[in-house]
Amino acid sequence: MSKRTLSVTGAALALILVIGGIAFWRISEMPNGTYYTRVDNARTEALEPTGGVIDPTGGMTLSYDLPAYDAEGNMKDISFGTDRELREGAYLRLEAVPIRGVMSWTEVTYEDLPPQAQAHLQ
C-alpha cells in the first residue's frame, strides 16, 4: 500500500473512533433504569403535533422536564411526555431506557420511594 492510502485509512479510523467515543458518551449520559421524581406542573411545555406521517411527540400534548433520582440518590434531568396534566406534587416512578427515554411512569406513594430518593424529594 502507498503512504497516501495508509494515511487516509488511518485518518478514517481515527474519525470513526472519535465519532464512536462521542456516541458512547452521549448514550451513557442518557437515563437508564428506574428514577423517582415529584410532579411540578410549572415545569411543563405544551407540545404541538406536526401533522405529518411521523409525529415526534408521539401524540403527547405535554412535556415534563423534572429532576429525577435513582435509588442511590444520583440526579438526572429527565423529560417525558404525557397526554394530560399530572397531579401536582405526586411522586412518580419512571422507567427509562437509553435513546428512547421514559417508557413508562407510575404514581407511587412517598413510602414507596427509596430512602436516597426520599431525601431529595421531600
Report the alpha-carbon distance of residue 36 to residue 38 in Å, rounded.
7
In a shared domain, residues 39 and 62: yes
Report the alpha-carbon distance of residue 43 to residue 16 in Å, rounded.
38
Q: Is 56 exposed, middle or buried (0-12, 13-18, 19+ CB in 10 A)?
A: exposed
Q: pLDDT digit string (tens) for 61-90? A: 888 999 999 999 999 999 998 989 999 999
In a shared domain, residues 5 and 35: no
In a shared domain, residues 25 and 40: no
In a shared domain, residues 9 and 67: no
| CATH number for the domain that contains residue 100 | 2.40.50.480
Q: Based on C-alpha coordinates, what's the Rg of the chain? A: 20
In a shared domain, residues 45 and 104: yes
Number of domains in the chain: 2
What are the grid coordinates assigned to 56, written together? 415526534
In a shared domain, residues 90 and 114: yes
Q: pTM score, two decimals?
A: 0.71
Q: What sign for the dihedral angle of Cα 43, 48, 49, 55?
A: negative
| Choice among 1-5, 18-22, 68-72, 84-88 with the minimum mean pLDDT | 18-22
CB 106 within 8 A of CB 93: yes
In a shared domain, residues 88 and 41: yes
Give the range of the structural domain holding residue 25, as residue numbers without chain letter. 1-30
Q: pLDDT digit string (tens) for 90-99? A: 999 999 988 7
